């Protein structure tokens, strides 16, 4: 048990290790699976443009805000707020984050389990050719089965637990030092391969030539903001937890910008890789969440060396999901480790079990519990909507309000570690006025169904 941070609170070995781990957190299913179907459904280039705009205007300043709280607080999600704002209710922001992290991880491991299963099917050659009845039917009936998906989800979760159990330096930092470079190489290989396909031009046009008339469609803004939050891992104190393990001398601003840019570049490269293939094989880009599990395998089956591409793609997707799942698990583990006095190993096992049980519900929602619905949403959709569209933005809003209004201007700017007066003023203006106003408009708008 460690109430004060500092001694006993683990630390990254290097700042670069922290950057890789934070990038590992950011780059995940969000960049590949979620980005491609949300962009595909919301008009491609126009969505990309608004997403980029939100990432720059809200995402990166908010990421710095979240980092600044963790680095100054030097404790977990709840503890950092308690330390900076004793005897107030601000720590509830951290508690909401802990709950949000458990919820996201629960459905995240389900989709990660699908990815792991697909990797297995590609390695054994089972998906090199279209199965009887097609990839669509195969996917639908597989995710509906009661036991098999749970096995892969459980396997993925056990691997995540084993890494988080080992702690920051030996577990999380070491794993990301391997994953992130491998991920970058694989992703670029696949995107370059995509560019050599015949329909590449159409894919690039879809992704980079905006249809300006779409700018008046309000739901694009809502979706783009949710995507920017989810992709950058902001709003639930996961990044806060990672930054609490920094050493005093490791500066935040450059690392923040580096992480934000990397995450965005990964999303764009993933978009190039996926949409060049989608357009080369004349597939509807708005085929929704299954895009990656149904559409891409059909494309791989009909392209030259598609089996190799399939293997590489699902290695990539599984690794990206893994480094994000690790950060999602570390967030509640850090909290329970400190407050309940569990060892790190025990805390990891306990939270892991809770996540598994909730994930079982999400998985069964595609099959025998398919009847559990709210407004047409199954259990996983409910978890995704509640977290990405409500908890993340609300948590982000509370954090900018905390730093912008509870802390003094001097404290806020000192913690941000920004050095030039121009950047200090610009960031402070953003977190105090511009970001809260935009976010309240979007949140309230969506609450009343206007957006």
Q: How far apart are CA 325 and CA 313, in angstroms?
A: 18
Nearest distance in Å: CB 324, ligand TRP:
4
Number of residues interacting with ligand TRP: please give it, by CB under 6 A.
16
Cβ proximity to ligand TRP: between 231 and 416 the closer is: 231
3-state class of 374 per DSSP?
A: strand
Cβ proximity to ligand TRP: between 270 and 283 the closer is: 270
Choose, by CB under 6 A, the member of 236, 301, 334, 399 that binds ligand TRP: 236
Q: How far apart are CA 228 and CA 68, in angstroms?
A: 19
Query: Are 133 and 298 in contact, with CB atoms under 8 Å apart?
Result: no
**Backbone φ and ψ of 438, nearest 5°:** -60, -45
* Residues of span 84-113 touching ligand TRP by CB under 6 A: 104
Choose, by CB under 6 A, the member of 42, 112, 231, 264 that binds ligand TRP: 231
Nearest distance in Å: CB 31, ligand TRP:
5
Q: How far apart are CA 175 and CA 115, in angstroms?
A: 19
Q: Identify which range of 216-224, 232-240, 400-408, 441-449 contacts ligand TRP by CB under 6 A.
A: 232-240
* Residues of span 135-154 touching ligand TRP by CB under 6 A: none
Interface with ligand TRP includes 54 (CB under 6 A)? no
Q: How far apart are CA 114 and CA 155, in angstroms?
A: 11
Nearest distance in Å: CB 155, ligand TRP:
19
Q: Identify which range of 131-139, 230-238, 345-353, 375-383 contacts ligand TRP by CB under 6 A.
A: 230-238
Name 406's Cβ contacts closer than 8 Å, sequence gap at least 6. Answer: 85, 88, 90
Query: Are 431 and 403 in contact, with CB atoms under 8 Å apart?
Result: yes
Residue tagged 């894919």 (tokens): 203
Q: Identify which range of 28-36, 61-69, 88-96, 119-127 contacts ligand TRP by CB under 6 A.
A: 28-36
* Residues of span 318-357 touching ligand TRP by CB under 6 A: 324, 327-328
Interface with ligand TRP includes 59 (CB under 6 A)? no
Q: Identify which range of 26-34, 216-224, 247-255, 288-296 contacts ligand TRP by CB under 6 A.
A: 26-34
Cβ proximity to ligand TRP: between 236 and 333 the closer is: 236
**Backbone φ and ψ of 374, nearest 5°:** -135, 115
CA torsion angle 351 353 354 355 (round to 10): 90
**Backbone φ and ψ of 287, nearest 5°:** -85, 10
Query: Are 81 and 69 in contact, with CB atoms under 8 Å apart?
Result: yes
Tokens (6 digits) for 375 = 């407004």
Residues forming beta bridges with residue 377, ordered by sequence position: 374
Nearest distance in Å: CB 229, ligand TRP:
7
Interface with ligand TRP includes 26 (CB under 6 A)? yes
Residue tagged 């690794």 (tokens): 319
Of the candidates 89, 145, 330, the one whose C-alpha atom is nearest the C-alpha of residue 233 is: 330
Q: How far apart are CA 163 and CA 367, in angstroms?
A: 31
Interface with ligand TRP includes 233 (CB under 6 A)? yes
Q: Identify which range of 157-165, 229-237, 373-381, 398-406 contacts ligand TRP by CB under 6 A.
A: 229-237
Q: Identify which range of 1-9, 66-74, 84-92, 231-239 contacts ligand TRP by CB under 6 A.
A: 231-239
Interface with ligand TRP includes 31 (CB under 6 A)? yes
Residue tagged 């370059």 (tokens): 192
Cβ proximity to ligand TRP: between 269 and 413 the closer is: 269
Q: How far apart are CA 405 and CA 428, in angstroms?
A: 10
Nearest distance in Å: CB 387, ligand TRP:
7
Interface with ligand TRP includes 28 (CB under 6 A)? yes
Cβ proximity to ligand TRP: between 267 and 413 the closer is: 267
> Which residue ranges make up the site for ligand TRP (CB under 6 A)?
25-26, 28-31, 104, 230-231, 233, 236, 238, 324, 327-328, 392
């Amino acid at each position: 048990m460690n109430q004060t941070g500092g001694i006993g609170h683990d630390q990254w070995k290097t700042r670069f290790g922290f950057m890789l781990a934070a990038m590992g957190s950011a780059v995940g299913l969000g960049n590949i699976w979620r980005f491609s179907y949300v962009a595909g459904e919301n008009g491609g280039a126009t969505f990309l443009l608004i997403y980029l705009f939100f990432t720059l205007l809200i995402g990166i300043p908010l990421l710095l805000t979240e980092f600044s709280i963790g680095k100054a607080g030097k404790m977990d999600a709840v503890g950092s707020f308690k330390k900076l704002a004793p005897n107030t209710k601000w720590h509830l922001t951290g508690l909401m984050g802990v709950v949000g992290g458990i919820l996201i991880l629960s459905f995240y491991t389900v989709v990660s389990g699908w990815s792991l299963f697909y990797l297995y099917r590609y390695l054994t050659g089972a998906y090199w050719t279209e199965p009887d009845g097609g990839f669509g039917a195969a996917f639908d009936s597989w995710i509906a089965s009661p036991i098999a998906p749970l096995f892969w989800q459980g396997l993925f979760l056990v691997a995540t637990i084993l890494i988080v159990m080992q702690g920051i330096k030996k577990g999380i930092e070491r794993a990301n030092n391997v994953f992130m470079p491998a991920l970058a190489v694989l992703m670029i290989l696949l995107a370059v391969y995509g560019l050599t396909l015949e329909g590449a031009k159409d894919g690039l046009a879809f992704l980079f030539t905006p249809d300006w008339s779409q700018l008046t469609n309000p739901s694009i803004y809502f979706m783009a903001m949710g995507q920017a939050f989810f992709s950058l891992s902001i709003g639930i104190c996961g990044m806060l937890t990672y930054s609490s393990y920094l050493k005093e001398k490791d500066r935040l601003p450059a690392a923040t910008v580096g992480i934000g840019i990397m995450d965005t570049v990964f999303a764009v490269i993933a978009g190039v890789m996926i949409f060049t293939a989608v357009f080369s094989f004349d597939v509807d880009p708005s085929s929704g969440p299954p895009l990656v599990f149904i559409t891409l395998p059909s494309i791989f089956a009909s392209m030259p060396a598609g089996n190799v591409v399939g293997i590489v793609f699902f290695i990539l997707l599984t690794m990206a999901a893994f480094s994000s799942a690790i950060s999602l698990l570390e967030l509640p583990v850090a909290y329970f480790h400190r407050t309940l006095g569990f060892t790190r190993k025990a805390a990891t096992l306990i939270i892991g079990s809770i996540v598994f049980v909730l994930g079982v519900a999400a998985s069964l929602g595609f099959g025998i519990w398919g009847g559990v619905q709210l407004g047409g949403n199954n259990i996983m959709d409910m978890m995704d909507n509640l977290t990405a569209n409500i908890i993340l933005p609300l948590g982000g809003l509370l954090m900018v309000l905390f730093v912008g209004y509870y802390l003094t201007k001097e404290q806020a700017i000192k913690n941000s570690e920004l050095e030039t007066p121009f950047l200090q003023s610009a960031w402070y203006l953003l977190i105090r006025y511009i970001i809260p106003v935009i976010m309240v408009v979007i949140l309230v708008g969506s609450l009343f169904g206007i957006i």
